[in-house]
Structure formats: C-alpha cells, structure tokens
C-alpha cells in the first residue's frame, strides 16, 4: 500500500504541474459561442474509423485492472475490469493514418453472455478533431454482429454532443489475440429549447490524498501501473468536498464522488466518471453527472456534464477546471471548477 501512496503522490504532482496554464473560466466569446451552439440548427457529424484492439504481446494496449472471485471460473469473465488505450486508425490497417486513441474502462458485467459495460473516450489526436473527445457509455454484447452504444457527450468541437455508435468486429486474429473493430458514429448537438435554463456556477474542489482522512484513495491497479510512467491502469475512488470559495472553511456546497482511472499510455490522462452532489442551498439534493477525459498536459481541461437529477434533470453542459494550488509534499490540491449547464 505504501507504493500505491507514493505513486498517487507522484501522480498528483504531475496533475498539478501540468495544469498551471489551464483556463478555468470561459471568456465572453466562449459563452456566446456556447449559447449559439445550443440555439443553432441541429448539425449532424458522422465519423468512421477503426480501433486496433491489441490484447496481448509486448505492445498490448488492454490491461486487466481487477477481477471478481468468480472471474476465472466464469464463462463470461464476469467481474473483470480492464483499462484500454487502443489506437484509432482511418483504415483497417494498423499502419493507416492515426486518428486518435480509444481510452477508458471496460467491465465484464454479464453472467450469461459476453457483454461489456463500456465507459470510455475517443480522444482525437490528428486532423480536424485533434484535441477533441467523444464519450461512449453503454452495453457492448461483443459477440453480436452490430453493436449500438450511446455517445453521451464530448469536448472541444464535440461539446454538447450526443449520438450513437455502431461497431462490429472487422477482424480477429486468435493467434495474435488481435482484433480490429470498425466504428461508425453519428453525433448531433444539444439544442437549447425555450423552456430550458442556462445555469453557471463556480466552486472549489478540495482533493485530499494525505493524512488520516483522505477523500481520494487508490483502489485498484493493473500490474503494469507500477512500471508505467503514466500510471496506466491505476484506479482511484474519490469523495471530495466542494465549497463556494477557495478557503478550507468556506461554505460547503457538496461533494464530488466517483472514480477515475489512468487511461493513457502516452500522457498522464484520466478517464473521470463522477457525480457532483449538492448538499446545500438551491441545489441541495440535486446532482450532476460528469464523464470524460482529463488530459493533464493540455493547457485547457474540460469535462462534459452528461446528465443530472433534481434541479438538473436532463442537464447537459461543460465543466472547465484549473488547479488553484498543489502541495507536492502532501499531494493535496485545490481545484477551481466553472460549470455551465442547460437544464429544465
């Protein structure tokens, strides 16, 4: 456990160092752009690409993180959790143009058939979508020919995206344990309707990894995580306090509860899946669901808000974040969030 603590501390250090230039507030232009996007004509974007599923060998891009006590005797590997960072290519050939990486967490979550609960991001690394992401969340019955999964959000040019993905196994080589998956994605953008509200707010998240009462605790790790410079395969659970102001005794607004996994082989990047739970004021009892990719080496960090409850029913939006301070000795951090959501 000591090792995990050290890793998490280094992990937090990298997070803090690389977020120095992050921009936490949207400019007036961005706000206008956001409103226009939401009010504009519905635009549909279609994408087609392949994902290289390299399941074994020295260059494998899929790792087991944890398993249940019946995974090894289950015909469907029930309870296994994997982290993946697969290459996305323009054509089926792995040498064809790189478009991005398919990164995130998958869980073997069906006792009877081979079906995965997928929670991942398509992180574009070239072309016109470079730097943008799309978030996929759904059930994947991998033995079916065509599988449809929801696209629940995105960032960059895909802000406020929603859509669906159809995938099939283009080829699978059982000797190399290498699959090529074909994806066709259609996304449109949430449109603001007359009865919707736009709510904006700021808050500060207190991320405590040190001391007797940490609120961010590692819970599972791929064997490779200890050797990986990006801690690929480390998963942590968090229940961080959020407050109105930056001071530790500032008024409590709620908690940020959920998990994140290090899902990138190339950079320190986390797949985040958590809920903002309000415990005070007008939003008391309401929640916002956040799901997306947090690339710490990017100047600008942005996470999609993909849903909500209570006051935030049917919410869609964007959260931008920046570290206010970071203590490299303790590993603790204070992160400023700026959130814009459309809801009813």
Binding site for ligand NAG (CB under 6 A): 57-59, 69-70, 93-95, 125-126, 130-131, 210, 279-280, 284-285, 327, 329-330
Query: Shortest distance, CB of residue 237 to ligand NAG, whole angstroms?
Result: 19
Q: Read off the tokens for 277.
A: 């739970």
User: In the chain, which ranges are continuous DSSP H helix?
Assistant: 2-18, 28-39
Supply the DSSP symbol for 234: E
Query: Shortest distance, CB of residue 147 to ligand NAG, whole angstroms?
Result: 24
Q: Based on CB atoms, which residue is closest to ligand NAG, 192 or 240?
A: 240
Chain position carrying tokens 């943008």: 132
Query: Residues 82, 53: contact at Cβ < 8 Å?
Result: no
CB atoms within 10 A of CB 92: 14
CB atoms within 10 A of CB 7: 18
Phi-psi region of 262 (alpha: psi -120 to 50; beta: other; left: phi over 0): beta
Please state, in angstroms and rounded to a whole number, the distance separating the CA atoms of residues 341 and 165: 24
Q: Read off the tokens for 170.
A: 């283009």
> Three-class SS of residue 130?
coil
Query: Shortest distance, CB of residue 328 to ligand NAG, whole angstroms?
Result: 8
Q: Based on CB atoms, which residue is closest to ligand NAG, 253 or 290?
A: 253
Please state, in angstroms and rounded to a whole number, the distance separating the CA atoms of residues 330 and 26: 30
Q: Based on CB atoms, which residue is closest to ligand NAG, 27 or 69?
A: 69
Query: Shortest distance, CB of residue 332 to ligand NAG, whole angstroms?
Result: 7
Query: Shortest distance, CB of residue 39 to ligand NAG, whole angstroms?
Result: 29
Q: Based on CB atoms, which residue is closest to ligand NAG, 96 or 188?
A: 96
> What is the chain's alpha carbon radius of gyration, rounded to the nearest angstrom?
20
Query: Shortest distance, CB of residue 138 to ligand NAG, whole angstroms?
Result: 27
Q: Based on CB atoms, which residue is closest to ligand NAG, 130 or 193?
A: 130
Please state, in angstroms and rounded to a whole number, the distance separating the CA atoms of residues 76 and 115: 8
Q: Read off the tokens for 222.
A: 């791929």
Q: Based on CB atoms, which residue is closest to ligand NAG, 147 or 255?
A: 255
Query: Shortest distance, CB of residue 211 to ligand NAG, whole angstroms?
Result: 7
All residues at 6 or more sequence positions from 327 whose CB lies less than 8 Å from its CB, including other chains: 333
Q: Based on CB atoms, which residue is closest to ligand NAG, 32 or 111?
A: 111
């Amino acid at each position: 456990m000591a090792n995990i603590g050290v890793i998490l501390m280094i992990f937090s250090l990298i997070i803090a160092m690389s977020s120095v230039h992050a921009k936490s507030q949207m400019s007036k232009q961005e706000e206008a752009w956001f409103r226009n996007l939401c009010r504009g004509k519905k635009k549909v974007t279609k994408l087609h690409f392949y994902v290289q599923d390299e399941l074994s060998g020295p260059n494998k891009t899929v790792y087991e993180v944890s398993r249940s006590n019946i995974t090894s005797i289950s015909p469907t590997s029930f309870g296994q959790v994997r982290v993946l960072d697969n290459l996305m290519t323009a054509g089926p050939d792995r040498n064809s143009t790189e478009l991005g990486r398919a990164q995130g967490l998958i869980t073997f979550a069906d006792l009877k058939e081979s079906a995965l609960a997928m929670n991942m991001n398509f992180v574009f690394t070239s072309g016109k979508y470079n730097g943008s992401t799309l978030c996929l969340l759904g059930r994947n019955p991998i033995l079916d020919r065509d599988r449809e999964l929801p696209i629940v959000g995105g960032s960059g040019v895909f802000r406020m995206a929603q859509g669906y993905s159809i995938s099939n196994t283009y080829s699978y080589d059982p000797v190399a344990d290498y699959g090529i998956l074909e994806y066709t994605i259609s996304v449109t953008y949430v449109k603001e309707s007359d009865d919707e509200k736009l709510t904006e707010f700021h808050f500060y998240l207190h991320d405590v990894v040190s001391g007797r009462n940490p609120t961010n605790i590692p819970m599972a790790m791929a064997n490779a995580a200890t050797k990986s410079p990006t801690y690929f395969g480390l998963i942590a659970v968090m229940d961080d306090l959020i407050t109105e102001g930056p001071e530790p005794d500032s008024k409590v607004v709620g908690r940020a509860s959920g998990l994140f996994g290090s899902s990138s082989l190339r950079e320190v990047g986390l797949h985040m899946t958590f809920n903002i739970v309000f415990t005070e004021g007008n939003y008391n009892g309401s929640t916002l669901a956040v799901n997306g990719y947090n690339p710490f080496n990017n100047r600008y960090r942005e996470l999609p808000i993909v849903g909500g409850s209570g006051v935030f029913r049917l919410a869609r939006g964007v959260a931008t974040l920046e570290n206010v301070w970071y203590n490299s000795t303790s590993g603790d951090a204070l992160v400023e969030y700026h959130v814009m959501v459309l809801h009813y």
